[in-house]
């Protein structure tokens, strides 16, 4: 009966449902945006390593800035690395890093030239890298500055094609390096992390640290620190945030607060980002819920008008034995049907809106079961809440007066 009553006035019913449709659609779309943002953030943090601490040198841009810094701080050095290794507890592995862009690469490539980095063998454990061809370099090869390298997936394809690469050579500047391994494809950090330079993790040539330090020279080395980064992995059960505070205290003592380095703690970033996303989610839900409230007010308005239109019907039903509870149930059913139909259409609209935003803006969106259930349940609840008053008004009508009503 409720559905039949709604279908009699199709246009009015559809206009009443619009508030619910837009409200539910907005909630689903907003939660899809925040869920997509959280997923992208978690992937970025996971790539950095939740148990890791990353120290990045802030390179000088010219001689004047370099001279001003050197009057205060020697920059990031092997002395800093040794001080951290000897004085910070709870470290599972660590390595310095020396990185620069090659001036010449052979074989030549039409793509972006790979980045050369020098690290110690522990780098593979810290970054959780996987080898798909060949092997990783050893402590002995690092100690003896052996001219070998491991290629990232993109660097291997761009330089040597799709054939097996192990045993072949690549020339970086004036030094030939023998390829001993190829890394599995690595996911890239899509969102920029403050304090870290964005680097394509697949377009790398990785060599032993001593090989890079002794066999290569950067043309702009006078502007750079002795090393430009330190990777640290803390032991399981060790608080990386507290460990980073100890690391920062050591560096502040040697750098005299020159501000020429940054310490990035993925675990700390994760907590900060999660708090930010939680606040953003609540704001988005609150804004979208306003549309649902407007839709609920529309339902109440239409149901009150429906009560006036059907006063004689209500009087006749009461006269032939309908109880007040029967009248309340009838009008609540109609209000709930409006909110349920509007909620279902709103979910479809929200999914389409989330997809459109993701496609048009290139923004990560993810529609979750939680967002759909929350929005739909809220719409049904709004329908019940705003349908109670009109239903109560209908049930309170005097049967005799209702029958006389014109």
Query: Which tens digits make up the pLDDT trace of 148-186?
Result: 999 999 999 999 999 999 999 999 988 999 999 999 988
> 44-57 pLDDT, tens per residue?
666 667 788 888 88
- pLDDT value of position 16: 76
- pLDDT value of position 144: 93
- pLDDT value of position 191: 47
Query: Residue 8: enclosing H or E segment and its boundaries?
Result: helix 2-8
Residue 205 makes CB contacts below 8 A (sequence gap 6+) with 102, 114, 115, 116, 117, 149, 150, 151, 152, 155, 170, 172, 177
Positions in the chain whose pLDDT score sits under 50:
190-191, 195
> 65-76 pLDDT, tens per residue?
777 777 788 888
- pLDDT value of position 176: 93
Report the DSSP pairing between strands 115-119 and 229-234: unpaired
Reading the block at residue 166, the tokens are: 């192990």
- Asked if 105 contacts 171 with a C-beta cutoff of 8 angstroms, the reply is yes
- pLDDT value of position 190: 46
Q: How far apart (Å, rounded) are the C-alpha atoms in residues 61 and 251?
A: 21
**Neighbouring C-beta atoms of residue 205, cutoff 10 Å:** 24
SS3 119: strand
Which of 365, 369, 378 lies closest to 29, judged by CA? 365
DSSP designation for 227 = -
- pLDDT value of position 371: 80
- Asked if 354 contacts 29 with a C-beta cutoff of 8 angstroms, the reply is yes
State the residue for tokens 């619910």: 20
Torsion angle (degrees, nearest 10) of CA 14, 15, 20, 26? 110
Which of 122, 98, 102 lies closest to 114, judged by CA? 102
- pLDDT value of position 183: 93
Helix and strand tally (H, E) in the chain?
A: 14, 11
């Amino acid at each position: 009966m409720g559905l039949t009553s709604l279908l009699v006035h199709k246009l009015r019913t559809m206009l009443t449902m619009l508030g619910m449709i837009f409200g539910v659609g907005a909630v689903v779309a907003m939660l899809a945006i925040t869920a997509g943002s959280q997923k992208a953030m978690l992937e970025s943090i996971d790539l950095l390593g939740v148990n890791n601490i990353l120290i990045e040198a802030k390179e000088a841009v010219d001689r004047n800035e370099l001279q001003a810094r050197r009057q205060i701080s020697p920059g990031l050095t092997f002395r800093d690395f040794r001080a951290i290794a000897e004085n910070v507890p709870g470290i599972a592995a660590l390595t310095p890093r020396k990185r620069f862009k090659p001036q010449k690469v052979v074989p030549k490539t039409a793509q972006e030239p790979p980045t050369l980095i020098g690290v110690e063998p522990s780098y593979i454990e810290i970054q959780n890298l996987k080898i798909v061809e060949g092997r990783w370099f050893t402590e002995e090869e690092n100690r003896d500055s052996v001219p070998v390298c491991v290629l990232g997936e993109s660097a291997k394809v761009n330089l040597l094609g799709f054939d097996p690469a192990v045993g072949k050579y690549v020339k970086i500047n004036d030094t030939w390096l023998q390829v001993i391994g190829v890394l599995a494809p690595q996911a890239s950090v899509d969102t920029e992390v403050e304090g870290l330079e964005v680097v394509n993790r697949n377009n790398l040539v990785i060599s032993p640290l001593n090989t890079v330090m002794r066999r290569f020279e950067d043309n702009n080395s006078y502007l750079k620190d002795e090393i430009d980064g330190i990777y640290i992995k803390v032991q399981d059960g060790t608080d990386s945030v507290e460990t980073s505070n100890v690391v920062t205290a050591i560096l502040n003592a040697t750098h005299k607060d020159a501000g020429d380095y940054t310490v990035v703690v993925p675990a700390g970033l994760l907590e900060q980002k999660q708090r930010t996303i939680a606040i953003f989610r609540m704001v988005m839900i609150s804004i979208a819920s306003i549309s649902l409230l407007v839709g609920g007010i529309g339902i109440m308005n239409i149901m009150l008008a429906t009560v006036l239109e059907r006063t004689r019907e209500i009087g006749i039903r009461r006269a032939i034995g309908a109880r007040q509870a029967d009248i309340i149930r009838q009008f609540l059913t109609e209000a709930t049907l409006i909110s349920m139909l509007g909620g279902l259409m709103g979910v479809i609209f929200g999914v389409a809106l989330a997809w459109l935003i993701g496609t048009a803006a290139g923004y990560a969106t993810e529609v979750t079961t939680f967002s759909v259930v929350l929005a739909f349940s809220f719409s049904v609840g709004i329908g019940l809440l705003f349908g109670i008053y009109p239903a109560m008004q209908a049930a309170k009508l005097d049967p005799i007066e209702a029958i006389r009503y014109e």
